[in-house]
Amino acid sequence: MKKLKFVVPVLLLTALVLVGAGCGKYSSPQRTISAMKKAMEKGDVDAYIECFTEESRVLLEAAGAQLTSESIKVDAEDMKDVKFKQTEKKGDRAVLVSEEETGGALVFKKEKGDWKIDLNATMEEAFKSYQQ
């Protein structure tokens, strides 16, 4: 009976950890968009940058002088009502397209188990759309 009293809490804790693992703020491209919007609304530059791939962060940090708390708050107002729909998901790559007529696409890459925005791939996607 003592073993059972120990096993049940351990099993419950394990279940909670496993369930929570799929609920992280970057567990899907849509959750990453939500995390990005929240960071923008708060003007939290560090949390905003965390939504991007490591390679993309280099580009964002190079633009550091232009990326301020105030600038992302202004952009948050523009993004507030923008909704995205997933159009593609293959392996470690996903594409979300804005439901707005003039909206664009965001390309996501799974990095260390988290879905992050890939700026290079997003720019390539925008360039392809522009050429069509």
Q: pLDDT digits over 20-31, tens only?
A: 344 588 999 999
CB 93 within 8 A of CB 107: yes
26-131: what CATH class?
Answer: alpha beta
What is the model's pLDDT at position 16?
A: 30
* pLDDT surpassing 50 at residue 3: no
Domain locations along the chain: 26-131
Its pTM stands at 0.76
Q: pLDDT digits over 95-121, tens only?
A: 998 887 666 889 999 999 999 999 999
Q: Minimal CA–CA distance to 96: which of 112, 82, 111?
A: 82
Q: State the amino acid at position 24 in one-letter form.
A: G
